Chain A
Amino acid sequence: ILNVEQSPQSLHVQEGDSTNFTCSFPSSNFYALHWYRWETAKSPEALFVMTLNGDEKKKGRISATLNTKEGYSYLYIKGSQPEDSATYLCARNTGNQFYFGTGTSLTVIP
Chain B
Amino acid sequence: NAGVTQTPKFQVLKTGQSMTLQCAQDMNHEYMSWYRQDPGMGLRLIHYSVGAGITDQGEVPNGYNVSRSTTEDFPLRLLSAAPSQTSVYFCASSYVTGTGNYGYTFGSGTRLTVV
Q: How many residues in A have their beta carbons less than 8 Å from beta carbons of B?
A: 28
Interface residue count for B (Cβ, 8 Å)?
28
Kindly name the residue among A31, A36, A43, A94 whose own CB sees the greatest number of chain B CB atoms within 10 A.
Answer: A43
Kindly list chain B residues whose C-beta atoms are within 8 Å of the C-beta of A46. 103-105
Taking A4-B42, A100-B42 as contacts, is the C-beta distance between A32 and B98 under 8 angstroms?
no
Report the separation of the CA atoms of residues A102 and B107 in the bound assembly, to the nearest whole angstrom: 19
A89–B103 CB distance below 8 A: no
A97-B41 contact, Cβ under 8 Å, with A32-B101, A34-B100: no
Cβ of A100: which chain B residues have Cβ within 8 Å of it?
A: 35, 42-44
A89 CB, nearest partner CB in chain B, Å: 7
Would you give the shortest CB distance from B101 to chain A, in whole angstroms?
6
How does the 8 Å CB contact mask read for B22-47 relative to A, with 1 for contact and 0 for none?
Answer: 00000000010101000011111100
- B residues with a Cβ closer than 8 A to A are 31, 33, 35, 40-45, 48, 50, 56, 58-59, 90, 97-109
Give the 4 A-B CB pairs with smallest separation, nearest first.
A32-B100, A46-B103, A93-B100, A100-B42
Contacts A49-B103, A93-B100, A98-B104 supplied; 20 other A-B pairs, CB < 8 Å: A4-B42, A31-B100, A32-B100, A34-B103, A43-B90, A43-B106, A46-B103, A46-B104, A48-B103, A49-B100, A49-B101, A49-B102, A51-B101, A93-B99, A95-B98, A96-B48, A96-B97, A97-B58, A100-B43, A103-B42
